[in-house]
A and B are shown apart, each in its own frame.
Chain A
Amino acid sequence: MCERCAVEKDIYLPRLATLEKKRLMNPTEMYLRLSIDDNEPFDFIPGQFVEVSIAGVGEAPITISSSPTQKGYFELVIRRTGNVTNAVHRMRIGDKIGIRGPLGKGTYPVEEAKGKNVVFICGGIGLVPQRSFINYVLDNRADYKELAVLLGTKCLSQRFFHSELDVWSHRNDIRFMETIDQTDDCWLGNVGVVTTLIPKIEKELESALVFICGPPVMYKFVLMALQEAEVPKERIFLNLERKMKCGVGKCGHCQINNYYACIDGPVFRYSDLRIAPEAI
């Protein structure tokens, strides 16, 4: 047998994690807190994801939502959309869940952003992956300059992380702004799509690194608005979601032109995507 085969781990083999906490945050999103069973390291950089594996059902790529500054466990937020995600929602505290990862080499530029303004633009569940870096910045607040978070939600019933958002909106070291797409009687805040908030953060946008994550339709409009605000492509980062079957750069499903979302991403620098028309 070949030496390398003897030492290399099976990249398709999940390790086990225990479900420690779960909470339904709105009708479709479930918050989960997990800890890895084995003693091998589980170190990750914001933006990395794991393949959540339910035996007999399959796997789904899910970005780690907690910050690496929180040790001993990690958090996921999972929207119920199909087989795997439904099965995760049915899991009970103490159950074992398969985890592969952390995966993804295209992470948030934690180091590069140091000393700069950082702006997060999130659409709906797009908050979940960005939250890892947002909390990382908050935990290392002195390393970064201005911090702004824009969040657009489709309707009030889909809003989540209420208390966390509440804290953010009361802290003065973070500029947090929120809008709801459709009017709702008991909503007193902004109404409209998330792009309407962009002109309001002109100051923060200056020399900032901007991070975008949301549903496929959102990217085009946010990028247009950023272009208007003259943010150069080198400073824009997109968190892209694609179908994935392996998460390790083999199965081909997540390919965006020449890139693999799983290994080259899921976080991409916009200027690198020039030759990837399929990205947006």
Chain B
Amino acid sequence: MHNNLDINVHHITRVEGHGNIVVNVKEGKIEKLQWQVPEAPRFFEAMVRGHSYQDIQTIVSRICGICSITHSLAATKAVEAALGIKVSEQADKLRILMHYSEQLQSHTLHVGYLAAPDFFGTPSVVPLVARAADAVKTIVKAHRIANNWSDLIAGRTTHPVTLIPGGLTRTPTEKQLRQLQQTLKDAVPDLKKIAEVVLSVAANIPKFERPTEYVSLKQTTPPTYTFYHGGVTSNDNKGAVLPIEKWHDVANEYMVEQSTAKWAKWHRDAYAVGALARFNNNAELLSPMAKDAAKMFGLQKDCCNPYMNTVAQLVECFHIVETSIDLIDQLLVRGLKTEKVTSSPKAGKGAGCVEAPRGILFHEYEFDKNGKCVAADICIPTNQNHANIQKDFEKLLPEILDQSEKDIRLKLEMLVRAYDPCISCSTHFLDVQFVR
């Protein structure tokens, strides 16, 4: 047991954006334990004001480079809700396909490049190249497939340019989709290989549990393991699903004394979002291969070990690939049509919600009659997780206080990284103090 401990992880590495961990233990008593976010605020909700409904997704895509497609989709959905714009079935399916590409991009990036070094005990993926060259190559390959996939449907890997209110600027050709489908089919063995490698080091995933409220999207018609459609649910909500317009009832933002960022709560004093939340709320709807993968790791519904979020992401990779292969079939059967998209400005207010790789994301906009934005509200998944990270810290630290400082530090960092935080997209912050 440490009597005195001073851990100050300034700008935690291998996460997107800046976050600090401050631990202060004096004579066996935890004096200070904080998860802080000192990221420079960027004021997106203020910046979009005055801009045309057609430019919103171009602007807010820049909230986050890793989930730019997700932000664009949420914003576009919100704009369409506000202006009453309809989207064709083909465009809807293509958007879901686009969204999947980013989920795979982000998940392989997180599992392979950011979290894996922890499991292998290396400071970054670079030394891993020497240790597990084959595994790294496979990860790189999967990541590249996901990137090319985004390029094809979204026009770019990062910051999509094919999304416009009402549909898409461009339809891929049948040939391109068929090629993509083949690539995805060929990628399955690679995914299995990655899963095996992760399984081989799964013993390094800390055993830690804390009963948690998990919030995610849920789609009942038809029942789908959803990232894109549906309403909001949680394991505390007894299966009820809230329409997304009611998202303010879910993400109740609040402040507490020791807090560094705005926290969110629904039924309890914190909740978690992300792959594990989606899994806990929808696991029975996963694709067969994804179910097998979950079984491999013994991941079951109601898992409340936050470190298992990384595993849930891996499971989702299987689901994404398998479902996309099917989705492409559906598109090809219908035959692809070039669609002309038009839209016109009108006053209105609307919300859009999708699952970012790291959890549920809400966008809401209001427009005047010229289609100029007058107000915006964005609530990103990482902000919804901040409070939960803090709560996890508070339960975890006393349990591991007898370990070496190095191990404590690593476990805390790993915990933060397991949430795959994307702090750069955080749009709201409160009271950050720097402990130096």
- Chains A, B in direct contact (C-beta < 8 Å): no
**B contact residues vs A (CB 8 Å cutoff):** none
